[in-house]
Structures are given as C-alpha cells and as structure tokens.
Amino acid sequence: MEPVESLLKYDTPLLLTKGNVRKSVKGRPFKVSQHQPLDSPVPPPPKSKAPDGIKQQNEEILHVMFTPREWTEGGQVWLQRVSTAPCTRADVLNLEEVLDRKLQQKRALETGICPVRRELYSQCFEELIRQVTINCAERGLLLLRVRDETQMTISAYQTLYESSVVFGMRKALQAEQGKVDMQQRIDDLEREKQELINQLNEQKAECVATQKREEEKRDAQEKKHMEQTQFLKRTNQQLKAQLEGIVMPKK
C-alpha cells in the first residue's frame, strides 16, 4: 500500500527493479537499526575535511536515521527516501503552516491526550531533525536521542496508565462483587430480622393471651373463694344460733 502523507519531507518515489531493490538498501556504508537501544551511544559520523565528503556523510546518516519507505503498487516496487535538500527559512514557515492546517483538518484536541496531535507533532519534530542533520549530523543525532527518550517516556507513561486502568477495573469489579455479597448479606439479615419480629409478635400475643387466661382464672378463684367464705359464714351463724338455742333453755 502507498504510504500515508507525512510532515517529514521525502524525495520523489523511485521505481525499483528486482535487481536493485536490495542492492540500493545494502549499499550503505554502515548499518544502524532505526529502533536501536536508547542507552547505547550513537556512533558519531566519520570526520572529513572536504565539504562534499561531510555533506555525503550527513546524507548517509540521514538515510540511516529515517529508513526509506517501500511499497508495492501495480506489481511494481517503489522506494522513497527522505529528502536531503537543504532547508530555508521559508521551508520552516511552510512547515508551521502545514502543521497548523493539519491540526485543524484532523480536528486535533488543543489540550489533553490526543493521539492525532501527538502524531503530527512527532512528524514535525522528525522533519526538524532532518533539517538539522543536513547541516550538522552530530546535532541531528543528539536530537534523535532526545526524540527516542521522549518516546520511551511517553510509552512508559502509557504502560503505566494502561496498568492503572486494569488495576482500577479489577478493583471496581472486586468492589462490585463485594457490593453484591454485602447486598445479599443485608437481604439475609433483613429476612432474619423479619422472622425475629414475627416471633416476637407471636410471643407477645401468646403472653397477652396467657395473661388474660390467668386473670380470668384468678377472678374465677376469687369468686369461688368469696362464695365459700359466705357459705362458711352462714353455716357458722346457723351453728351459733343452734348452739345458743340449746344452751339457753337449760338456764
């Protein structure tokens, strides 16, 4: 597929044949991986007193820093290398205008986390590195280290953010599960409370019924006792009268 448009300036694409596709890539004087370790020292370019030699070395370093883009279209292989043309003040101003225009076209956010804005600024920084490397390879390599360090820091923050999101989701799920368990316990306690209330009401009703029965029983016993007392009093008066009737005639 054809590569996407980038703020990094490239030369005109070249049509390659099977014979010179790999040859053009392997014909470089030294090999450096684009994603070399950030803590490894960047090899300085060989020093040369001739201006043409310095320019050629800077271009070779530039091609190592930004590997050529290759794609296949219509059965043909195309190669596009990063531009080695010197930049002017107008190029810098044009780069700023293109950056602002693309930020508006792609609706990048002005603040906060925005992958679109980050990608455009990353391309703009690479273009600035390209422009600096053409004149001073050492300065371009140092800027490349700064770029790699920034990308590594952003990647570390992104990893930390993703791990914190996973941790937060796990804690949220645990809290949700704990909430469900607590709700189940609350429901069980509510049922137990209702059962105890029902038992208490039954005990109160039984106590009231027992108290009523005892009061009725006590009233019945008191009535019976009064009847027996009155009967005994009448009996006592009758016996007393009979006794007096028997004793009095003898006198």
For the chain, give the percent of residues with pLDDT over 70. Answer: 82
List phi, psi (to 5°) of 59.
-65, -40
Taking alpha carbons only, the member of 88, 83, 49 closest to residue 69 is 83
Confidence of residue 186 (pLDDT cuts 50, 70, 90): very high
Residue 210 pLDDT > 70, yes or no? yes
Which of 14-18, 68-72, 193-197, 235-239 ranks highest by mean pLDDT? 193-197
Q: What is the mean pLDDT of the chain?
A: 81
Looking at residues 200-211, what average pLDDT do you find? Answer: 93
Residue 173 pLDDT > 70, yes or no? yes
Looking at residues 141-153, what average pLDDT do you find? Answer: 92
Diameter of the chain measured on Cα atoms: 179
- pLDDT one-digit tens code per residue, 56-114: 887 888 888 888 888 888 788 888 888 888 888 898 999 999 999 999 998 988 888 88
Task: Look at residue 164 in the predicted model and tell me its pLDDT.
Answer: 92
How buried is 25 (Cβ within 10 angstroms: 0-12 exposed, 13-18 middle, 19+ buried)? middle
Global pTM reads: 0.56
Angle, vertex CA 37, rays to CA 21 and CA 163, nearest 5? 115
